[in-house]
Amino acid sequence: MKGALDGILVVSLEQAVAAPLATARLAAAGARVIKIERAEGDFARGYDHVVGGESAYFVWLNQGKESLVLDIKAPADAELLGRLVAHADIFVQNLAPGAAARTGFGSESLRARHPRLITCDISGYGDGPMADRRAYDLLIQCETGLASITGGVSEPGRVGVSVADIACGMNAHAAILEALIARGVSGKGRGIAVSLFDALAEWMTVPLLHHEFGGKAPARVGLQHPSIAPYGAFACSDGQLVVLAVQNEREWHRLCVDVLENPGLSADPRFASNSLRVANRAGIDAIVMTVFAGFPAKTVMARLDLAGIACAPVNEIADLSCHPHLRRHRISTPGGVVDLPVLPVIAGAPEPVRAVPALGAHTMAIRAEFAG
């Protein structure tokens, strides 16, 4: 079956995570994605070498693309890139601020020459006083305050995956699809600009509102929920941590009666609402901790399931590797075949086998195809 974006050409001056994630989603939907790389390659190729000599980041984010090595400062290569863009539907870039424009590939000038072109500029901070600052995922997690509400009580922490890059790439992908729909109506392209800072700042709306209207930002609570109780991780007799999540008063009553076997607790005025339970979290946590400590995790989870209380084990990555709900698809890489998690959207069609390109693997073919 053809993808929804079959026939769409994407040209991307991309590196690292955010832009490659956006274009990987486009490639998965059937678009042809030509990835422009320097002679040394996307620096994400060198982040690690754990997947048969390839980078885990690069393998994840570059399935189904073509790799074209260009020096866009060289006139002949710049001319070739210009011909590519003239045929393209979408142009994506996440070079350093201003770098694309300085080489003649600024989004406004490209759209002036090619009115149907959709351009997407991905940056760290977007416009504003910090536009020229370097920006990477951990820096943005810290800059937006995310690190201040992440981690244990004693110190801030980093979210363990590159959430700023991922959020920004997802925003870029969604905006590009919107622009394609709009172009189908108007016949005109659109300029898109997204940034890592804006992506995480928007995700931080709830903590920000608590600060500005409630007078206090959520505290770091580790594996607890800052706004709901009981909602967190508790140790069982076998040492396994189990997370339970109570979402309403019906569930609170069932937890007390069916799991904690303490019916009177549900009527305790200290715990009569979620706000009161959060204010008296220590008391609730102590009760739950005592009960859970008397049983192995499987027994605790079985009781929670029977009571209709949401729960989950606190797994390690090794547990994810063999999880019964982990769906995989097979791709080929320069280092061999790899089974990766499938894309998170189920489209109803079997996923094709996609390849991760070696550096410059398509350079000669693309040069011949777009020769002047």
Q: Which residues are catalytic?
A: 225
Strand ranges in the chain using DSSP code E only, listed in sequence order: 9-13, 32-37, 65-69, 90-93, 118-123, 191-195, 231-235, 241-245, 310-313, 328-333, 336-341, 354-355
Strand ranges in 254-318 using DSSP code E only, listed in sequence order: 310-313
Give the separation between CA 118 and CA 179, rounded to whole angstroms: 7
- The answer to whether the beta carbons of residues 270 and 280 sit under 8 Å apart is yes
Give the separation between CA 322 and CA 339, rounded to whole angstroms: 12
Give the separation between CA 62 and CA 331, rounded to whole angstroms: 11
Give the separation between CA 342 and CA 143, rounded to whole angstroms: 32
Cα 351 from chain centroid (whole Å): 20
Cα 372 from chain centroid (whole Å): 39
Within a 10 A sphere around the Cβ of 283, how many other Cβ atoms? 15
Within a 10 A sphere around the Cβ of 51, how many other Cβ atoms? 19
Give the separation between CA 142 and CA 155, rounded to whole angstroms: 13
- The answer to whether the beta carbons of residues 170 and 178 sit under 8 Å apart is no
Q: Which residues are 36's β-sheet partners?
A: 13, 68
Residue type, 90: I
Q: Which residues are 51's β-sheet partners?
A: 54
Question: Which of 146, 120, 154, 162 has the alpha carbon at shortest distance from 202?
Answer: 146
Cα 95 from chain centroid (whole Å): 20
